[in-house]
Structure 1
């Protein structure tokens, strides 16, 4: 089946499949009945520039799917977590500004309509930082110490190493509290994120519950984590680690802005194995092939099993990689073209982010005022 004909097929899956009361995984196809009425759906992504395939399939494409189904009672807020970005210092200020702009362009390029969703920079809404401080008085050091991301970002393997621990910056250690403030500031009911952020959402629910219990209120909701159905997208050259913009080998990373010939070269160089008579999903014994099959599953919105059926006729690596390339080019071309269009219109991007910040600030000020009233500041 050709890529073009595949894109016309419709797949129906159970959406928001429940595996506990606070975490749901989306299916590959959403319908209007799957988005709760009067929901507030919030998510942000760090402005590291253009989105790569892991960002796209692991988080932000779900934003677009949700935005397409928005009704009048649903509030959507999507943006750049630029305050989180400085937990790893950004000495190149010009580059940081460019990354922020590229992140807004990327959000719009995947099809997010700023008329349906509030799109903004986190730093432009001061109440994020204000609620962060208020919630920090409820966050225990023990809870923060159990978070894994600050350890991985700091390359901390031995917590008995006092010198290494002493060098950790407070912002990096405490940023899950800021993330909780981001979410609770808008009294968000649902938060679509990548799987690597699910631990932080547990802390958000913990802080929500602690605040409500302490002040005998029900002001903050218990936000539901929404996970995309695609398993983590891995590096093309080292399928033991996730795809990342910080990878020194940029041939390992596919960006949504990559031209067809660039995608073809990267896929051609992707690590596979010596088995060529069949291609099947086996992440333990065939990690490279499995990563590409998982990518096909995510892009085509079908199960791993269906991908295996569709590629069973392929008997060599060259044709398999050509198939992967064709699928990726068909999926990413519209986003690439929109991205370059938006980057040629920086005034429009600025207008979108500023108008979004104004709308977000209006909601945020109303809610932070109520929080301060509850706490006795007003």
Structure 2
């Protein structure tokens, strides 16, 4: 078994296959230091924690992660909070930076004797319809190589070799550009509120997400195609305070901005998640906007489903799970896409003053008011916000 990519999907899959007695190797383009430090999402859903618990992969997140159960909305009509642990299914998030989860999974895999080839770039997957497809690679020195296996798991993202290797017509590609961009910021500053903060403002959305006691992630709705370094740090902090209405609700804790990047809110789904002996998981299977923090959680869920199916086939001669892999995963993926789009419409509105823009913003305002006042709407939100 060859696994492309050492992110959450690839490493969960590798750990589960190795423990199940399936010979596998993980091929990762980046070096180990980069894999363990690349900052990504940090909100783990309750079901993700249960999966990691089930397979003995959760020690680090229980020791260092923080449970989180409250989000705050700030709008032109004031602010309100939802304690979603008391709504819906009564579940919480665990805030645990993805780079720490990846480090835990990587350490567990290597300590158990798992094989990872860092700085090994997968170039192509050949013969996916054959009994033993081949993965062509290039190492850090530019030398070519090849790995053969019964199955290949593409966990290498939307731009990886797995997607590139799909021939025309092999899968259906559903995609949508939401027309919204965010400037993602990682600041060396303590959280400014004890909740996830969503601010809706005439100048655009702003978001606050705690990561650790010393580091906070912020988002600013951003002009499409504008470089991430367009604004100075002072201007960014001033804009964050304006959109989050710091004058009314208290100033933000400022600090150096460690990272900044522009994220275009886009979504896509490939159907089916299989082409012959090549299976897709994580961002290679579907890309989801960060508006609802579902990406890493879908990746872990898909990895567990795929691992059990592969073990059933390779260890017990039962291929049924592999045949049903797409059918099992796609309802979760489309459900997450649906809620992600709902969040995008909730948090963003047109900036114009024409009749269409005024109508859309009034609908958005009514949606927020229903979330503030309706228990049934709050229960629906909580179930979908934490669930996958």
**Larger helix fraction of residues:** 1
Q: Which has the higher strand share?
A: 2
Q: TM-score, normalised by structure 1?
A: 0.26
TM-score of the aligned structures, taking structure 2 as reference length: 0.25
